[in-house]
Amino acid sequence: MPYEAPTHTVERSLRATTGAKIVAGVDEVGRGAWAGPVTVCAAVTGLRRPPEGLTDSKLITPKRRLELAEVLEGWVTAHALGHASHEEIDDLGMTAALRLAAVRALEGLPVRPEAVILDGKHNYLGTPWQVRTVIKGDQSCVAVAAASVIAKVRRDKMMAELGIEHADFGFAANAGYPSPVHKAALAERGPTPYHRLTWAYLDALPQWRHLKKARNWAEGNVPEIEGQLGFDF
C-alpha cells in the first residue's frame, strides 16, 4: 500500500520552539501481547534524509523490517532499547511499565536528549522529560519510525528465543500476541513462565484461572490495552 514517507517536521518544530538540539523519537512494541516484555526504543536521527521505505513497522513486511532494521542501526545517530518484563507489567501495571522501559531506553543513549517525540496521544513519560506526543508518530516522524522498526525487530527476536522451549505457542510467529495458535496452546497447556498473569484472558480459562494474580496497581495505572481483555475480538 502507498504511504507518505515520514518527515522531520515535528523535530524541526521542537527545535525551533524549545531550543533543543538533541531530539529522540520513542516508540514501543508489545503493549497488547499476552506474554513477554514491553519494549521501547529511543532513536536519535538528526535531520538527515532517512533510508528508503522507512515507515511504521506495522506497515512493513517481516522480511523488509529485518533488512531495514539492519540499515537503521547503522544509520541512526544513536539508539537504545529498554524493556519492562512480564513480571514488572504484572507488578506495576502497563502505564508504569511503559514509563520504566522508556526511561531505560532514554537513559541508555550516549547523550541525554533535550526533547522527546512520543508516539501516541498519552504522555506516559512525564517529568522531567520534555515530551511532544504525536498520534501515528511512527508514520509521520522519522525518529519515531526508526524507533518503531528497531523495537519491533528486536522484540520479535527476543520472543522467538523465549519460545524455543514452548514451541506450541508459536511465539516466533505471534511474538506473544493472541493468535489462534497461541490461544489454543494456552487453553491446553496453561500459561508459560513468560505470560502476564494479571490480565483478563485467564478469566476465560477456568482450568487455569487459579493462576491469575491480583491487581495491585496504583489508581489510574490500569492498562487500557486493546485486545487483552479476553478471547473474543
**Cell numbers found for residue 172:** 516466533
pLDDT at 227: 36
pLDDT at 219: 45
Q: Is the pLDDT of residue 230 over 50?
A: no
Q: Is the pLDDT of residue 4 over 90?
A: no
Q: Is the pLDDT of residue 81 over 90?
A: yes
Q: How far apart are CA 70 and CA 32, in angstroms?
A: 25
Q: How far apart are CA 142 and CA 8, in angstroms?
A: 6
pLDDT at 12: 95
**Cell numbers found for residue 180:** 489462534
How much of the chain, in percent, has pLDDT values that exceed 90?
Answer: 84
Q: How confident is the model at residue 88 (pLDDT cuts 50, 70, 90)?
A: very high
Got the DSSP string for 46-94?
TTPPPPTT---GGGS-HHHHHHHHHHHHHHSSEEEEEEE-HHHHHHH-H
Q: Is the pLDDT of residue 87 over 80?
A: yes
pLDDT at 15: 93
Q: How far apart are CA 135 and CA 209, in angstroms?
A: 36
Pairing of strands 38-44, 78-84: antiparallel
What proportions of the chain, in percent to the nearest 5, are helix, strand and coil?
A: 45, 15, 40
Sequence-distant (6+) residues with CB within 8 A of 212 are 197, 198, 202, 203
Residue 27 assigned to a binding site: yes
The 10s digit of each residue's pLDDT in 173-223 is 999 999 999 999 999 999 999 999 999 999 999 999 999 998 875 544 444
Q: Sign of dihedral through CA atoms 93, 99, 104, 105? A: positive
pLDDT at 232: 31
Q: How far apart are CA 120 and CA 144, in angstroms?
A: 10
Sequence-distant (6+) residues with CB within 8 A of 42 are 24, 25, 26, 79, 80, 81, 82, 102, 105, 106, 108, 109, 113, 116, 147
Residue positions counted in the chain: 233
Q: Is the pLDDT of residue 139 over 70?
A: yes
The 10s digit of each residue's pLDDT in 23-68 is 999 999 999 999 999 999 999 999 999 999 898 888 899 999 999 9
CB 55 within 8 A of CB 3: yes
pLDDT at 2: 56
**Cell numbers found for residue 156:** 520479535
The whole model's pTM is what? 0.90
Mean pLDDT of the chain: 90
Residue 119 assigned to a binding site: yes
Q: Is the pLDDT of residue 135 over 50?
A: yes
CB 100 within 8 A of CB 88: yes
The mean pLDDT of 88-96, rounded to a whole number, is: 95
